[in-house]
Amino acid sequence: MREHDPLGMSAEEMASLQRISDAGAQDAGKAISQITGLDFIFSAPGVRTLPVDDVPALLGGEEAAVVAVHLAVYGDARGNILIALEPESAGRLLDALVPGRPPLVPARLHDIPEMERSGLLEMGNILAGAYLSAVSRRLQRSLLASVPRLTIDMAGAVMDTLVVDSSGGQDSALVIQTELRARAGDIIGHILFLPDPATLPEVLRMLGRSLPPDPPEGD
Amino acid sequence: MAGVWPVRVKMGEIVVCARDEAPEGLSIRGLGSCIAVFIYEQRLLRVAGMAHVLLPQPAERSPLTSPGNFAPTAVAALIDGLMQRGVERRNMLAKLAGGARMFAFSNPERESLGERNIRAVLAALAAERIEVVGMEVGGSSGRSVVARVATGGMRITSLGQEPKEL
């Protein structure tokens, strides 16, 4: 289902991005499994360019509540990373992080006590850090994350600033999405990486140089 | 497109409707830093329109994109659309919602995208001499809005808060 790409990326470039993102997802998966003691499965990342308006649907629709940690990406390429969980999943993740605490399904930011808040921010830091360092290694370039920021709100509202920021006012945005899921099935979340289109050509150049050419695809 | 649901205004879109074309009004769900600009026709209340603005202005490097993405071009196109449907400029009144800072701890020293959007939309409306009669902007919560052509009313909801009426 490879349609004409509005940002002008070739099928090969999409596939290369997919492979480096895969490395990022695997490392992020290892990190979160080690910290929580839970077994996490990460999906193969989906690399897509979407109309900006369709991006919130990736997180369950515009009005779906999400607990989200955002980090800006700096360095040799820019962009945004968002780690988003449904409130129920965020509560269960906190149970794993802080055993023995009273159960919590956070509905608003001030519902989350300070320690749990730090736990979620730290989780975001670790996931994004593991993801970015794996991608950096593949690209042989430096990608750094900002301090994480936490919010709970409608998916549409959480995404619109990031999508607009990442798309620079273009009508489409490139989104690399990985789903994380506890093997028990009760924690589901997403990592979204939105590279800034202004630095996309540079990323693609790095990809071309740091990776061997793709093997021919079966389809 | 008449229906039981409000007519959805997507990011960067400008929608102008007569009453019977949007009996349930015009809506934007999950607004963060973006702005809903609603302009309606005072007293007559026949036609109204909404823009879903993304950015204060185009970046220099921006390629061709929809005029609805940016405050000045979106406001101008919305007014044009209303005039084409017979609304006189002197009867136009505006209401706004959105422009939040979604991550409360983002650098408070710097003006957020939401704040810049608010300023740019207000400037564009002032330049077009359209009076702003209500707004629910800024803060750090996302919003959903539904605006009615037939009343000029705008209902704003946020997660875990009482709805507000403008």
Q: Over 50: is that where the pLDDT of B96 sits?
A: yes
Nearest to B70 among A160, A163, A169 (CB): A169
Distance (Å, rounded) from C-alpha A208 to C-alpha A204? 6
Residue position matching structure tokens 């360095």: A75
pLDDT at position A2: 42
The mean of the pLDDT values for chain A is 82
- Nearest 10 degrees: CA dihedral of A47, A52, A55, A56? 170
Three-class DSSP category at A90: helix
Nearest to A153 among B54, B105, B159 (CB): B159
Chain-chain contact of B102 with A56 (C-beta, under 8 angstroms): no
Confidence of residue A219 (pLDDT cuts 50, 70, 90): very low
Q: Over 50: is that where the pLDDT of B2 sits?
A: no
Nearest to B142 among A61, A156, A169 (CB): A156
User: Nearest CA of chain A to the CA of B83: how many Å?
Assistant: 26
Confidence of residue A8 (pLDDT cuts 50, 70, 90): confident
Q: Over 90: is that where the pLDDT of B5 sits?
A: no
Which neighbouring-strand residues pair with A80? A72, A194
The mean of the pLDDT values for chain B is 91
> Which residues of A are less than 8 Å from B59 in CB distance?
168-169
pLDDT in tens, B111-163: 889 999 999 999 999 999 999 999 999 998 999 999 999 999 999 999 888 99
> pTM of the predicted model, to two decimals?
0.86
More confident residue, A112 or A104: A112
> Which residues of B are less than 8 Å from A163 in CB distance?
11
Nearest to A151 among B69, B103, B113 (CB): B103
Distance (Å, rounded) from C-alpha B97 to C-alpha A57? 22
Distance (Å, rounded) from C-alpha A17 to C-alpha A178? 13
> Which pairs count as long-range contacts for B50-53, CB under 8 Å and 24+ apart, including other chains?
B50/B9, B50/B14, B50/B15, B50/B26, B50/B78, B50/B147, B51/B9, B51/B13, B51/B14, B51/B75, B51/B77, B51/B78, B52/B9, B52/B10, B52/B11, B52/B12, B52/B13, B52/B14, B52/B28, B53/B12, B53/B98, B53/B117, B53/B120, B53/B121
What average pLDDT does the segment B45-73 reach?
Answer: 85
User: Nearest CA of chain B to the CA of A169: how many Å?
Assistant: 7
What average pLDDT does the segment B4-8 reach?
Answer: 87
- Site from B5, B8, B11 to mutate, A interface, most A CB atoms within 10 angstroms: B11
pLDDT in tens, A163-206: 887 777 777 888 889 888 888 878 889 999 988 877 777 777 77
Residue of A nearest to B101 (CA): A161
